[in-house]
Amino acid sequence: MRLASLLLAAVAALVSTPHLLAQVTLETNSGNSYTGTVVSNDGKSVEIEADGKKLKLPYGSLTPVSQYRLEKAKTGDDAKSQLALAEWCVPRTLYEQARTHFRNALAADATMAEEINAKVVVARKTAANELLARGKLLQAAGNVKEARRVWSLLVKELPLEDAATEARTLLAEDSTQRKQSALSAPKPAAASGARGGDAKADGDVPLRANGEPFSEATRKLFQPVIESYRKMLDDTQEGLAKGGSDGIKEFEKALKEGEKIRRTADGLKPQAAGNEEVTEALDRVDSKLEEAEVDARINLVDCYLMRTSYNQASDVVREGLAKYPKNEQLRMAMNRVTAASADGIGGDWVVRR
């Protein structure tokens, strides 16, 4: 009887420790990658075995996503365990994962709905404030593109939070500045991140890289491109304002406007022969178009991930990479889609409708 009890206890222990001996690939903050079988994991360090050798890695040396996969592997399916994992994700800015586990918790035990939703409210506010602050830091550091992505994510995912209101204002100011400087050379990082009342004056006359204005003839030649570019930015802003299915339609309209810009620019290429100014203007169009198209595609990807439509999200990125294979934002987006699909994460912050 005693032996039978011990055997049952051993089986129960194995069942209650999900995937402990699973094969896993872990990435460190320094860029190293290790693949092996998890031998032990106490939440502070993990020991893996590969090729007969054991390696112990501190949690602090691992990327947040690697830490998450370890935590997920040893988390039960009951509501309390899923809720604890969701709360573990929030301070590590793993918001997609947090949303998934909040919903899993509610699905596991509907009687905990009040407690779960109360924690979701706190998590939403925490995430919104962190995203707003992160975007400001990125802007101050001159990384305006990434700041724009972070604020756009905030507006799409947490539109009712106070932080989203400020993010909308910041995005609108950024869009206005971009429209006013449609054909101008990029400003230095510090200037591009600054906010002030002189943007319109700077943007009234497009400037070349040497600081001189483009000629009136060149400005007139590229006016249709400038108008389409401004329309493209407006469509993207409308997509952020509307959200949902209507937002997706606006982002798709922005991409169509981008194709119109590309066709118009292609028609102007014969005039660039022997004309340095037109050549520079066409180069500027290529650069501005890539930035605007990538913005629209990243927004579409986020929308599809909130719907857990991984294939659609992947298609959007692949189409972009076919045009801009070296674009780092698109490469990072593909990594996000791949990870989300592998981990089965996504969805919005609404746990109870």
Q: What is the mean pLDDT of the chain?
A: 88
Report the 3 state secondary structure along the chain.
CHHHHHHHHHHHHHHCCCCCCCEEEEEECCCCEEEEEEEEECCCEEEEEECCEEEEEEHHHECHHHHHHHHHHCCCCCHHHHHHHHHHHHHHCCHHHHHHHHHHHHHHCHHHHHHHHHHHHHHHHHHHHHHHHHHHHHHHCCCHHHHHHHHHHHHHHCCCCHHHHHHHHHHHHHHHHHHHCCCCCCCCHHHHHCCCCCHHHHHHCCECCCCCECCHHHHHHCHHHHHHHHHHHHHHHHHHHHCHHHHHHHHHHHHHHHHHHHHHHHHHHHHHCCCHHHHHHHHHHHHHHHHHHHHHHHHHHHHHHHCCCHHHHHHHHHHHHHHCCCCHHHHHHHHHHHHHHHHCCCCCCCCCC
Residue 311 pLDDT class (50, 70, 90 cuts): very high
- Determine which of 18-22, 147-151, 271-275, 300-304 has the lowest per-residue pLDDT on average: 18-22
Arch. (CATH architecture) of 17-74: Roll (2.30)
pLDDT digits (tens, 9 = 90+) for 216-260: 999 999 999 999 999 999 999 999 999 999 999 999 999 999 999
Task: Specify whether domain 218-345 bears CATH 1.25.40.
Answer: yes
Pairs from 100-104 (Cβ < 8 Å, separation ≥ 24): 100/344, 100/345, 100/346, 100/347, 102/351, 103/347, 103/351, 104/77
pLDDT digits (tens, 9 = 90+) for 321-335: 999 999 999 999 999
In this predicted structure, what is the pLDDT of residue 188? 52
pLDDT digits (tens, 9 = 90+) for 33-82: 888 888 888 888 899 988 888 889 998 999 999 999 999 988 999 999 99
Domain ranges across the chain? 17-74, 75-202, 218-345
